[in-house]
């Protein structure tokens, strides 16, 4: 089965970059990314690559090469589905905020709506690919909806989870550790798997393309994120112990990371993990486990989230405690709002939660982030807390210059590990802050001794307060 046309429903952080790379590597395949959000599609079609809605290093160049040749962005969802041989579903699957499973289960309403739209529009056989992160056995739900349309169209369902790290997504797409494809084990199912294998084989070595049944593929995605988040929470738990024993968490991380059985990745102590996947996928795993009565399994994985939430609260309390147990009326400068460097994604960013806790204590927050826009910061705060939009705008200011953001501040909280923060003129920052001037390094990236020599009081995750 040779694929000539691909449609991807969802022009977000996964769909946009993934389809751009497929279009670049497979110029003979027409790739159309569709979304009902007109502003987002307009941004993808903007001539200025700085305005595309997803910031990823190298993504603009990839889009510029393929867009208009065989890569297209459109709001005409029906037409793209009808023309496609293969339809990727890459829509949001947030944690439910209502009803059964609230706070843990994935909300699949957008997935179901996509399936029903595909079923309504399709007039020829289609391969439907799950790209969104989904609970185990979601494929059976898709299959049930698609197979009962009465249209006589044959659908094959594949699971092709993404394993992208935001900030390195383009690099991850060009040289993935593995591509995982799960599908049915019938002859038709195997042909569908091979069709997707053939697409990735344009640039991915065959030994890095893994094929499984669809259930194993769906569970592997949840498991991978759970294991990575577990490592972060584990090192963060030890960071608190380090602060009381005067051990240094960076030295501990380096020591254990040299063990080949452990390795150094995801052992960086911080204010906590964020992003769209880790928390959502673990909560999903917890919900699935509890639904089968596996309470010990659920409790084990839920502890990863509990530790992460604790780390964010602990960081906020550290700021309050070291500012003489009150931040009321005090200016706290946040350097960074994105959940990690090299992305403009703020979903589940630790900065949002720490800011909310400080605002509860009547602090004033000044935010500088090189890629996150002001409207996104305010949207994050409006979504999270019960304060009015006017209150959030009164107590949270977004500043386009880091030196201006720090002027007159009692403390700086470094919330995102942007490389540029290491290069700042910290003497200039110190001179314009109120004294004593505090730095709370939530990402452990600054030279603590250099800051102390300037005169800062430095408080870093995982080391005794100085």
CB-CB contact of 458 with 248 (8 Å)? no
CA distances from 165 to 54, 55, 170, 228, 381 (A): 13, 13, 9, 11, 24
Structure tokens at 205: 């070595």
pLDDT of 102 reads 78
pLDDT of 151 reads 73
pLDDT of 136 reads 58
CA distances from 98 to 106, 228, 387 (A): 11, 28, 21
Scanning the structure block, which residue is given the tokens 């769906």? 218
CA distance 45 to 60: 11
For the chain, what percent of residues have pLDDT higher than 90? 80
DSSP conformational letter for 106 = B
CA distance 385 to 363: 15
CA distance 365 to 295: 40
pLDDT of 91 reads 87
CA distances from 328 to 139, 252, 320, 396, 435 (A): 51, 36, 9, 13, 16
CA distance 17 to 163: 12
Residues of the chain with pLDDT under 50: none
Scanning the structure block, which residue is given the tokens 């550790």? 177
Q: By CB neighbour count within 10 A (0-12 exposed, 13-18 middle, 19+ buried), where does 404 fall?
A: middle
Catalytic residues: 277
In DSSP terms, which residues pair with 180 in a beta bridge? Answer: 210
CA distance 60 to 56: 8
What pTM does this model have?
A: 0.88
CA distance 213 to 184: 6
CB-CB contact of 322 with 465 (8 Å)? yes
């Amino acid at each position: 089965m040779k694929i000539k046309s691909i449609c991807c429903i969802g022009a977000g952080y996964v769909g946009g970059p993934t389809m751009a790379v497929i279009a670049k590597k497979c110029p003979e395949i027409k790739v159309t990314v569709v979304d009902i959000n007109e502003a987002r599609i307009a941004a993808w079609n903007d001539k200025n690559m700085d305005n595309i809605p997803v910031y990823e290093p190298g993504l603009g160049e990839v889009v510029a090469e393929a867009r208009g040749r065989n890569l297209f962005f459109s709001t005409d969802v029906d037409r793209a589905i009808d023309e496609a041989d293969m339809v990727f579903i890459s829509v949001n699957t947030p944690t439910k905020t209502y009803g059964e499973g609230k706070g843990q289960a994935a909300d699949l309403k957008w997935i179901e709506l996509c399936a029903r739209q595909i079923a309504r529009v399709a007039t020829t056989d289609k391969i439907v690919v799950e790209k969104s992160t989904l609970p185990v056995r979601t494929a059976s739900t898709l299959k049930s909806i698609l197979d009962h349309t009465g249209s006589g169209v044959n659908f094959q369902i594949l699971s092709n989870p993404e394993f992208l790290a935001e900030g390195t997504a383009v690099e991850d797409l060009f040289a993935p550790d593995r591509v995982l494809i799960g599908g049915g084990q019938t002859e038709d199912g195997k042909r569908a798997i091979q069709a997707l294998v053939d697409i990735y084989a344009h640039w991915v070595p065959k030994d890095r393309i893994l094929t499984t049944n669809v259930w194993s593929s769906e569970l592997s995605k949840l498991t991978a994120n759970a294991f990575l988040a577990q490592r972060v929470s584990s090192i963060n738990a030890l960071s608190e112990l380090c602060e009381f024993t005067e051990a240094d968490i960076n030295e501990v991380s380096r020591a254990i990371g040299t063990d080949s059985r452990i390795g150094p990745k995801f052992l960086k102590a911080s204010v906590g993990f964020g992003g769209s996947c880790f928390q959502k996928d673990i909560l999903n795993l917890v919900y699935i486990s509890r639904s089968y009565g596996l309470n010990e399994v659920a409790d084990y994985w839920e502890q990863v989230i509990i530790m992460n939430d604790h780390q964010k609260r602990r960081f906020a309390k550290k700021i309050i405690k070291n500012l003489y147990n009150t931040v009321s009326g005090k200016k706290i400068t946040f350097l960074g709002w994105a959940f990690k460097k090299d992305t403009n994604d703020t979903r589940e960013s630790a900065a949002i939660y720490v800011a909310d806790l400080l605002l509860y204590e009547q602090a004033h927050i000044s935010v500088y982030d090189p890629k996150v826009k002001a409207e996104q910061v305010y949207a994050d705060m409006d979504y999270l807390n019960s304060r009015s939009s006017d209150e959030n705008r009164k107590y949270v200011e977004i500043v386009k210059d880091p030196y201006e953001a720090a002027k007159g501040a009692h403390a700086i909280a470094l919330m995102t590990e942007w490389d540029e923060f290491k290069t700042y003129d910290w003497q200039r920052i110190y001179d314009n802050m109120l004294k004593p001037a505090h730095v709370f390094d939530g990402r452990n990236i600054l030279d603590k001794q250099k800051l102390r020599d300037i005169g800062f009081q430095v408080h870093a995750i995982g080391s005794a307060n100085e």
